[in-house]
Amino acid sequence: MNYNIDSSLWGKFEDKEVYVWKLKNANGIELWFTSYGARLIKAFVPDANGKLENVTLGWETLDEYVAENGGTYYGAAVGRYGNRIGSNGTFLIDGEKYQLELNNAPSGIPCALHGGLKGFSLQVWECVEEFQDKNGVGIIFEISSPDGEGGYPGNVVMRVKYTLTNDNVWRIEYTATTDKATHISPTNHAYWNLDGIDAKTTVMDHVLKINASCITAYDAGMIPTGELRDVTNTPFDFREPTKIGEHHDDDDELIRYGAGYDINWVIDSKEDGLRHACTLSSEKSGRTIEVWTTEVGIQIYDGYYLPVRNAGVALETQHFPDTPNKPEFPSTLLKPGETLHSTTEYRFC
Residue numbers annotated as active site:
189, 316
- Residue 239 neighbours by CB distance under 10 Å: 14
Sign of CA dihedral 110, 262, 81, 197: negative
Instruction: Find, among 245, 246, 225, 257, the residue nearest to 309 by Cα.
Output: 245
- Tell me the C-alpha distance between 177 and 179, whole Å: 7
Residue ranges in the chain assigned as alpha helix (H)? 62-68, 253-258
Amino acid letter, residue 335 = K
- Per DSSP bridges, beta strands 191-192 and 39-46 are unpaired
- Half-sphere exposure in the Cβ direction for 268 (13 Å, CA): 13
The residues, any chain, with a CB within 8 Å of residue 166's CB and separated by 6 or more, are 1, 2, 3, 25, 26, 27, 136
Cα pseudo-dihedral 175, 178, 182, 186, rounded to 10 = -20
Contact 289, 348 (CB under 8 A): yes
The residues, any chain, with a CB within 8 Å of residue 170's CB and separated by 6 or more, are 31, 40, 43, 162, 163, 164, 345, 346, 348
Residue 93 burial class via C-beta count within 10 angstroms: exposed 0-12, middle 13-18, buried 19 and up: middle
Instruction: Find, among 123, 83, 112, 102, the residue nearest to 329 by Cα.
Output: 83
